[in-house]
């Protein structure tokens, strides 16, 4: 949780008025713990849509896929920005399932990213 941004959509804390939330990657309701390895920062949008989900659906593979884990997986290996740097594209099954389940490219997100691009703070370089 060291980068002070959402582990799923990379929203930096400094660009949002909502405090990033502590998200349980494996939900407490399904037996997850509050150990450091199971916690990540998430923006309000991602935390609401992630909720207690562990799996998402990948339309290409037409099957249920485990969602991206910000702690054990590398964002850059699973996602890439589109040419305009306003939409997240899943590169892997888990990446695509996460984009869909967490609605990473809804209009509010994309509109905010258009403004954030005007700063040097978004999208993050790493």
Q: Footprint of Zn ion on this chain (CB under 5 A)?
A: 6, 8-9, 11, 43, 46
Cα–chain center distance at 73: 12
Question: Could you tell me the smallest distance in angstroms from the CB atom of residue 44 to Zn ion?
Answer: 8
- Return the number of other C-beta atoms located less than 10 Å from residue 7's C-beta: 24
How big is the chain, counted in residues?
Answer: 126
Decide whether 91 or 103 has the Cβ nearer to Zn ion. Answer: 103
C-beta of residue 88 within 8 angstroms of C-beta of residue 11: no
- Provide, rounded to whole angstroms, the least separation between the CB of residue 65 and Zn ion: 19
Please identify, using beta-carbon distances, which residue of 62 and 126 lies nearer to Zn ion: 126
Q: How many angstroms from the chain centroid is the CA of residue 59?
A: 18
Q: Which is nearer to Zn ion, 40 or 43 (CB)?
A: 43
């Amino acid at each position: 949780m060291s980068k002070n941004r959402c582990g799923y959509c990379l929203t930096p804390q400094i660009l949002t008025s909502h405090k990033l939330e502590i998200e349980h990657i494996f939900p407490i309701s399904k037996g997850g713990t509050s150990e450091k390895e199971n916690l990540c920062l998430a923006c309000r949008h991602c935390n609401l849509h992630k909720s207690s989900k562990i799996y998402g659906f990948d339309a290409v593979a037409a099957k249920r896929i485990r969602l991206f884990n910000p702690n054990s997986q590398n964002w850059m290996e699973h996602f890439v920005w589109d040419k305009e740097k306003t939409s997240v594209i899943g590169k892997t099954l888990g990446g695509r399932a996460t984009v869909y389940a967490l609605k990473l490219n809804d209009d509010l997100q994309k509109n905010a990213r258009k403004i954030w691009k005007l700063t040097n703070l978004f999208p993050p370089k790493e």
